Amino acid sequence: MTSTNQTTKDRVVIFDTTLRDGEQCPGATMTFEEKLAVADLLDEMGVDIIEAGYPAASNGDFEAVSEIARRTKRAIVAGLARTIPNDIDRAGEAVRFAERSRIHIFVSTSPVHMKYKLQKTPDEVLAMSIASVTRARNLIDDVEWSAEDGTRTEVDFLCRCVEAVIKAGATTINIPDTVGYTTPDEYRALFRTVRERVPNSDKAVFSVHCHNDLGMAVANSLAGVEGGARQIECTINGIGERAGNAALEEVVMAMRVRGDAYPYETGIDSTMLTRASKMVSNATSFPVQYNKAIVGRNAFAHESGIHQDGMLKHTQTYEIMEPQSVGVSKTSLVMGKHSGRAAFRSKLEEMGYRLSDNQLQDVFARFKDLADRKKVVYDEDIEALVDENIATAHDRVRLVSLTVIAGTRGPQRATMRLDIDGRQVTEEADGNGPVDAVFNAIKALVPHEAVLELYQVHAVTEGTDAQAEVSVRLAADGRSVTARGADPDTLVASAKAYLGALNKLIAGTSRMHAQHAAE
Ligand code: KIV
Ligand code: ZN
């Protein structure tokens, strides 16, 4: 068992739940391929446990967890389950092929959850916990038990449950702050109390799992570790239910930068944090807040003259960690229309991209086009171009051209040319506003039933010539997918984002609408 002796650095295990608690929050749905890509990156980054999903929730979740279990090289792959037998068996089946696997069982233990949500007595919840852990241990040696709403649970009952499930074979005990209600002092004390009072507590690793409803998820997680927990459950960018979960990048860097206050170490390669943040943001279409700690685009930006002056004299005046330590390159190479292919390639490499010659050719041509239209091309502009190029590599429906007539006198009209499976088709459509006209033209060219659930516009950089980045979420047949499109023209970006989402739906359905439209 890990000791709490703080003279040397104790190892804290990082349990990432981006693909489960993160993915289950409204609007963060990822496709199968996106989940695999995120899992691969988490594994490469050194995450100890990847909670890949909730296998009993749907066939899609089951398939994703199984595939992640098969391909993950280093991390333990966990599947979530309620205490019911079918959930446990599905979770066991899904993680069966992992090198190292875990079943994670949760059940509510607080009075309010047991009475209203479960409609069970405490004794029934205790019996369900013991039976489910026993069943899971018959499948797998590594079993985690979580007391959902643990911070609002009566401590005596919590201790009874913890003792019983450890006896039944649970190897990790998680006490979640499910509703983001606790405070650092309270959470630290809770772990100390439970570990002291439960006679067999030394037979399990204790875990924190904090939600951010009061903005204290990271502080609470660190306090739980001070109280003796040695596993932190967290998500990239802090995505998760409601206000989200503790952000992985923040807990990792807090322990690294303030090792004097938090003498713990993790196995995370922190130079991959920015890449992971971008990947999750792209897959979910959840933008990262500019001033987000560690991975926000302003986290290492200095604008005021006084700060810049200080930075020029010594970087430690205003920076407590090196940007490179989290994967941000400090060098600001300004790219413009005079830049050549070699400089562009080296810029991409510096930004962490490795493109094939064909991809490079494609992106370089689009970069030149953008540089002709925009005064300064920022790193974010290049990133948007490359990400879009990668995301659309297998698209069957592509935008060839778009002309829109807009203004005070409607109806607004869009004339659109698309390439559908190599054939070019053109259509005109009116709309109640230019965006509506653009989307109507797509519907005329690729008839479909999908419903537009979200339409958001952001500027990639500053200025009136900034690239617009549009996010679109479409839903059809019980699936919802999101995609982004970027272009200095907001309407072109809108068309690209809509087509991106439509392509994802087409790729995932057996009814090939695009095929029909092209015939
Ligand atoms: O927040 C929570 O309680 C959870 C459990 C399923 C661990 O996510
Ligand atoms: Zn949670």
Report the pLDDT value the prediction gives residue 6, as an integer from 0 to 100: 43
Residues 292-308 pLDDT 10s:
999 998 888 754 445 55
| Maximum alpha-carbon separation in the chain | 77
Rounded average pLDDT over 224-247: 98
Report the pLDDT value the prediction gives residue 309, as an integer from 0 to 100: 59
Confidence tier at 439 by pLDDT (50, 70, 90): very high
Residues 145-195 pLDDT 10s:
999 999 999 999 999 999 999 999 999 999 999 999 999 999 999 999 999
Residues 413-424 pLDDT 10s:
999 999 999 999
388 vs 517: which has the higher pLDDT:
388
Q: Pick the range with the lowest mean pLDDT from 271-275, 374-378, 475-479.
A: 374-378
Q: How many whole angstroms from 50 Cα to the centroid of ligand 1?
A: 15
- 245 in a known ligand binding site: yes
Share above pLDDT 90 across residues of the chain, in percent, rounded to a whole number:
71
* Closest residue to atom 2 of ligand 1, CA basis: 178
Q: How many CB atoms lie within 10 A of CB 401?
A: 12
* Closest residue to atom 5 of ligand 1, CA basis: 148
209 C-beta closer than 6 A to ligand 1:
yes
Q: How far apart are CA 213 and CA 215, in angstroms?
A: 6
pLDDT higher than threshold 80 for residue 311: no
Report the pLDDT value the prediction gives residue 458, as an integer from 0 to 100: 85
Report the pLDDT value the prediction gives residue 5, as an integer from 0 to 100: 43
Q: How many whole angstroms from 239 Cα to the centroid of ligand 1?
A: 13
* Closest residue to atom 1 of ligand 1, CA basis: 178
* 331 Cβ contact list (under 8 Å, min separation 6): 350
Residues 44-100 pLDDT 10s:
999 999 999 999 999 999 999 999 999 999 999 999 999 999 999 999 999 999 999
The number of helices, as runs of H, and strands, as runs of E, in the chain is 17, 16
DSSP character for 245?
B
- Residue 459, φ and ψ in degrees, nearest 5: -95, 130
Q: Which of 16, 178, 212, 245 to mutate to test the pocket of ligand 1 (most atoms within 8 A of CB)?
A: 178
Report the pLDDT value the prediction gives residue 341, as an integer from 0 to 100: 78
Strand residue runs (E) in 328-478: 397-405, 412-420, 423-431, 451-459, 468-476
pLDDT higher than threshold 80 for residue 463: no
DSSP-assigned states of every residue in 136-175: HHTT-S-EEEEEETGGGS-HHHHHHHHHHHHHHT-SEEEE
337 vs 514: which has the higher pLDDT:
337
Report the pLDDT value the prediction gives residue 393, as an integer from 0 to 100: 77
Q: How many CB atoms lie within 10 A of CB 137?
A: 17
- 21 in a known ligand binding site: yes
pLDDT higher than threshold 70 for residue 478: yes
Share above pLDDT 70 across residues of the chain, in percent, rounded to a whole number:
91
Report the pLDDT value the prediction gives residue 141, as an integer from 0 to 100: 98
**One-letter identity of residue 416:** M
Compute CA distances 437 → 452, 468, 503, whole Å.
14, 18, 19
pLDDT higher than threshold 80 for residue 511: no
Burial track 225-255 (b if 16+ CB lie within 10 A, e otherwise) = bbbbbbbbbbbbbbbbbeebbbbbbbbbbbb
Report the pLDDT value the prediction gives residue 518, as an integer from 0 to 100: 39
104 C-beta closer than 6 A to ligand 1:
no
**One-letter identity of residue 340:** G
Helical (H) or strand (E) element with 510: none
Q: How many whole angstroms from 65 Cα to the centroid of ligand 2?
A: 18
Q: How many CB atoms lie within 10 A of CB 282?
A: 23
Q: Is the peptide bond before 184 cis (omega within 30 degrees of 0)?
A: no
pLDDT higher than threshold 60 for residue 7: no
Q: How many whole angstroms from 501 Cα to the centroid of ligand 2?
A: 28
148 C-beta closer than 6 A to ligand 1:
yes
Rounded average pLDDT over 309-313: 64
Confidence tier at 479 by pLDDT (50, 70, 90): confident
Among all bound ligands, the one having the nearest atom to the CA of 57 is: 1
- 211 in a known ligand binding site: yes
pLDDT higher than threshold 70 for residue 267: yes
Rounded average pLDDT over 312-335: 77
Atom of ligand 1 nearest to the CA of 179: 1
